[in-house]
């Protein structure tokens, strides 16, 4: 039997998702996103009865949150991408455009965040079991190990 540690983060970001039957998702809109990381630890607790210092996790995640917070997440294949980037450059906010190589649905974003965090995770004995991303009180997606 192992231990589970969960850590929650929050960020605000806009996006638009393409390919839906309803135009609602294709409008430029934003959310206050809730991100939850679930880590599993299979070893014994250390002498201090901890799994790890959660600040070590924050060192990995905070730069990712900083990239996303108050950004606009846009697919590089979005038909408005080039013009949108020009407008953002004119407004001197191009540094807050977060370009991705996938349609920025909640499912795509949670997988993207999982991969970014997991690629940097170096906590001995810990596995990133799951990442959950919530964009509204009625919509949440998760990605990770089964």
- Rounded to whole angstroms, the Cα distance separating 131 from 74 reads 21
Q: Which residues face 142 on adjacent strands?
A: 132
Q: For residue 133, what are its two tokens?
A: 């991303």
| Neighbour tally for 42: CB within 10 Å | 10
List, as one string, the DSSP characters of 58-83.
HHHHHHHHHHHTTEEEEETT-TTHHH
Question: Which residue, 98, 111, 101, 102, is CA-closest to 141?
Answer: 111
The DSSP call for residue 128 is E
pLDDT tens sequence for the chain (146 residues): 588 999 999 999 999 999 988 888 889 999 999 999 999 987 778 788 887 788 889 999 999 999 999 999 999 999 999 999 999 999 999 999 999 999 999 999 999 999 999 999 988 788 999 999 999 999 999 999 87
Domains of the chain (ranges, CATH numbers): 3-144 (3.30.479.10)
Q: For residue 74, what are its two tokens?
A: 């846009």
């Amino acid at each position: 039997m192992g231990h589970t540690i969960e850590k929650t983060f929050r960020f605000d970001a806009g996006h638009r998702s393409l390919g839906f039957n309803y135009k609602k998702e294709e409008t430029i809109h934003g959310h206050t996103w809730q991100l939850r990381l679930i880590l599993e630890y299979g070893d014994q607790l250390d002498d201090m009865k901890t799994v790890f210092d959660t600040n070590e996790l924050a060192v990995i995640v905070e730069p990712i949150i900083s990239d996303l917070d108050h950004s606009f997440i846009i697919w590089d294949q979005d038909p408005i991408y080039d013009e949108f980037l020009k407008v953002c450059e004119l407004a001197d906010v191009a540094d807050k455009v977060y370009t991705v190589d996938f349609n920025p649905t909640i499912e795509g974003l949670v997988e993207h965040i999982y991969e970014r965090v997991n690629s940097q995770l170096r906590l001995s004995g810990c596995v990133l079991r799951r990442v959950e991303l919530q964009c509204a009180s009625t919509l949440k997606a998760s990605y990770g190990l089964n």
